Structure 1
Amino acid sequence: MFSQFALHERLLKAVAALNFIEPTPVQLAAIPLALQGKDLRVIAQTGSGKTAAFVLPMLNRLLGDGASSPRMSVRAMILLPTRELAQQTLKEVERFAQFTFLKAGLITGGEDFKVQAAMLRRVDILIGTPGRLIEHANAGNLLLDEVEVLVLDEADRMLDMGFSDDVQRLAELCNAERQTLLFSATSGGAGLREVVGKVLKEPEHLQVNKVNQLNEGTRQQIITADHNHHKERLVDWLLANETYEKAIIFTNTRVQADRLYGKLVAKEYKVFVLHGEKDQKDRKLAIDRLKQGAVKILVATDVAARGLDVDGLDLVINFDMPRSGDEYVHRIGRTGRAGAEGLAISLICHNDWALMSSIERYLKQRFERRNIKDIKGIYQGPKNLKASGKAVGPKKKKIDPKTGKKIVAKKPAAKAPSKRNTINKPKADAPVLVSQDGLAPLKRRTPTAE
């Protein structure tokens, strides 16, 4: 029960109104420590309820001891990698803060800059993407010296997108005595460890899920394909034959996303496409239509791999294999959320196999192999695979059981030189005539009859 946490009565009222009853594992682990004012570094899978894990303690701190009037300054900031995730987080903050005076505002690209600058002076909680916030900081619009709580959500993704310097600079602009909460779905790499070291103070480290435990409710399959045209046929078959409420198909490029979108529209599927070249209005329309059920299928690049929380999204198809294990985790995290079941299918050509195998090793999992008889291709994986699917390794060394030493095969005896190759060679003891200067051999003259 959420009543076990020392939350403000107005927050408990909101939790009850939203029918939140049992805290999730990440909420149980993070909320008590966050309420104590500690910095946190939390690894938790997408869809595990981590937004509430940082929003509730943040709001509780801003409410203070019975405070009842707003303060006209930014007191908390939440940084996120994408507009979509920022918009989703704003809605969550507003839901939990519905019985308080606290106001939240959104700062992302694609919106009027002057309108945003004016809004910055009227909010308690600022939610935004690093790039646009840095623009406001450079313009002198962003004052963060009274920030009490800084949240970095999907921090690993922000660094993957090249926001490391922006994140660190924004953190430096905040009050040095602030509390910092950092959440990510994966452990990230050296870049994330550097940010943790510079931005957090003596943080508590919480890992709610190991990477190979992510999305336990999601079946993960691969289907081999001969080429992209074959993949398009497989997508068509899967959309026509799988049982799903909503589906998302990931590609690695905008060009492929647009091409696949065109193919599906031609087959009269209700589908939207989402990638970085779409403006904010089109991106919002695509997600809203998917959430409302006006369309069942979304074709997207990795811009939608984070921050897309859609009920009933139970099928993910990787048209292109993601380029890393972390990206794979974020993609399939769109389905199987909060304990629900889902299906993730990756289409694998010959040039995808090595990447797929490396992701299997990273997750310490083996994906289910699947064939579709109606459109089975020629390619079934590398030729050096046994029936079990394991790669055939080098031959074992033969060991002598008596001595324990390696048995070395004897080299075959050298063949005698062919007579044909020695016919024109001079005899070893034949004299060689040399010119008077001793430098060049003279040609032997064949004696002739006088």
Structure 2
Amino acid sequence: MFAQFALHERLLKALETLSFTEPTAVQAAAIPKALEGRDLRVTAQTGSGKTAAFVLPLLHRLLSEDKPKSGARALIMLPTRELALQTLKEVERFAQFTFIKACLITGGEDFKVQGARLRKNPEIIIGTPGRLNEQFNAGNLPLGDVEVLVLDEADRMLDMGFSEDVLKLAAQCPAQRQTLLFSATAGSGLREMVEQVLREPETLMLNRVSELNEDIRQQVILADDNAHKEAILQWLLENETYEKAIVFTNTRIQADRLTGRLIAAGHKVFVLHGEKDQKDRKLAIERLKQGAVKILVATDVAARGLDVDGLDLVVNFDMPRKGDEYVHRIGRTGRAGASGLAVSLVGHGDWNLMSSIERYLKLRFETRTIKELKGSYKGPKKLKASGKAAGVKKKKADPKKAGAKPAAKRKPAAKPKTGPSQVVSQDGLAPLKRKKPAAE
């Protein structure tokens, strides 16, 4: 029960209203440590309840001491607009019986409007590193009163090239702040960020990357080419039982093209990628959540922070380029104890990516064949080792053995210009004694 954490009564009231009863594993592990004021480095799988694990202790701290004249007291940095917006909604839900205000600062929105929001002095600022850094450079983001700094999906921020912005903003916060760093993976690249931002942190490893949600079936279907992939995708969307589905591609161009094909086939589809403005991205997610559309085609911009009830089918039209990206893609389904299906379409160019992801996760994907769409591609051909490659030397035929034909006599070489007493062998290796010409 959440009551065991001795959270502020207004937070407990909100939890009761929201029907939050039993904490998840990451919440049970992180909340008590965070309430003690410890710096934390937490690794837990996507969909495990990480947001509440840092929002509840943060709100408790702000409620425990009233500081009406201070600036922003908490800063939450996240890699994408979608995840930032989702976090804002979670903060508002848990803070519904308090007077705590939060504001959102991300790209894709009017810069001056955001500056006006910041001048209203919200207690919590939630945003993406790039736009937060721009507001800081413009003098709109005072960080001298920050008591709690949260870096959520820190591994993704690192992958997206935000490390410099994150470290710069963290350095502007007071040294005695509390810092909570959350990630879905424990990549070695986080070491520098951890060393510079956290003070004697306690590490909570809730799961290793190979321990993916057991409720997610992970399948692979081999495909001959993109046209074959499209046919398989159409079949899956028409024959699988699902409430909502997301299809991942590696590029914006592929996402747009695939969306057009699916719409032409009669499917209701929205597309989500980095070229879409914030209004369109919000609309796509809201339509999917409301059930106005069942299918979302997206690049990895949607692999973080997209939390949609009933999203039970994920299709990797393109295999992700990294194991961590695979983890976050399939983490869109099978959330909060629900079951899900993740299907990856693997062609000739995807095989090595698939194999590397299997090695990374230390598992084997389930291979599936659709009878009506069985292709010819079966994976890379095994090269047969030649005798030379295998280290086997061929023996020369022994003319003395029974049944062996003697080697044909070599024809005399053309008369050389090396002298009257010698001729050069045809292989040029050694002089031969000159023979008298046969009688004509």
| TM score, norm. by length of structure 2 | 0.90
- Partners of 1:146 and 1:268 lie apart in 2 by 54
- Partners of 2:182 and 2:47 lie apart in 1 by 12
| One of 228, 244, 247 as aligned partner of 2:245 | 247
Q: Secondary structure at the match of 1:419?
A: coil
- 2:130 — aligned with what? 131
2:70–2:145 Cα contact (<8 Å) kept: no
1:82–1:306 Cα contact (<8 Å) kept: yes
- 2:147 — aligned with what? 148
- 1:436 — aligned with what? none
Deviates more, 1:424-433 or 1:293-302: 424-433
Deviates more, 1:150-159 or 1:118-127: 118-127
Q: CA deviation at 1:420?
A: 2.9
- Partners of 1:275 and 1:410 lie apart in 2 by 59
- Report 1:10-409 matches (<5 A): 10-65=10-65, 67=66, 70-121=68-119, 122-190=121-189, 192-384=190-382
Q: CA deviation at 1:422?
A: 3.5
| Equivalent AA in structure 2 for residue 119 of structure 1 | R
| One of 422, 427, 442 as aligned partner of 2:412 | 422
Deviates more, 1:414-423 or 1:224-233: 414-423
CA displacement, residues 207-242 of structure 1 (integer Å, 9 cap, x when unaligned): 101111122110000000011011111110000000
- 1:5 — aligned with what? 5
Cα distance, 1:344–1:432 mapped onto 2, change above 3 Å: closer
When the two structures are aligned, how many residues end up with a matched partner?
Answer: 416
Cα distance, 1:233–1:413 mapped onto 2, change above 3 Å: same
- Partners of 1:144 and 1:421 lie apart in 2 by 94
Cα distance, 1:7–1:426 mapped onto 2, change above 3 Å: same
Contiguous gaps of at least 5 residues in structure 2: 400-405, 424-440
CA displacement, residues 170-200 of structure 1 (integer Å, 9 cap, x when unaligned): 100111110000001111232x111011111
Cα distance, 1:60–1:230 mapped onto 2, change above 3 Å: same
- Partners of 1:274 and 1:116 lie apart in 2 by 24
2:79–2:157 Cα contact (<8 Å) kept: yes
Q: Secondary structure at the match of 1:210?
A: coil
Cα distance, 1:118–1:426 mapped onto 2, change above 3 Å: closer
- Partners of 2:392 and 2:269 lie apart in 1 by 65
Contiguous gaps of at least 5 residues in structure 1: 386-391, 399-406, 434-450
1:72–1:123 Cα contact (<8 Å) kept: no
| Equivalent AA in structure 1 for residue 339 of structure 2 | E
- Partners of 2:409 and 2:255 lie apart in 1 by 70
Identity %, equivalent residues: 71
Q: Secondary structure at the match of 2:321?
A: coil
- Partners of 2:156 and 2:386 lie apart in 1 by 39
- Partners of 2:90 and 2:70 lie apart in 1 by 22
Deviates more, 1:232-241 or 1:424-433: 424-433
1:70–1:101 Cα contact (<8 Å) kept: no
| Equivalent AA in structure 2 for residue 245 of structure 1 | E
- Partners of 2:91 and 2:258 lie apart in 1 by 36
- Partners of 1:245 and 1:258 lie apart in 2 by 22
CA displacement, residues 326-383 of structure 1 (integer Å, 9 cap, x when unaligned): 0000000000111110000000001100110110010011000001011111101122
| Equivalent AA in structure 1 for residue 298 of structure 2 | A
Cα distance, 1:242–1:432 mapped onto 2, change above 3 Å: closer
Q: CA deviation at 1:428?
A: 11
| Equivalent AA in structure 2 for residue 178 of structure 1 | R
Q: CA deviation at 1:119?
A: 1.2
CA displacement, residues 255-275 of structure 1 (integer Å, 9 cap, x when unaligned): 110111001111111110111
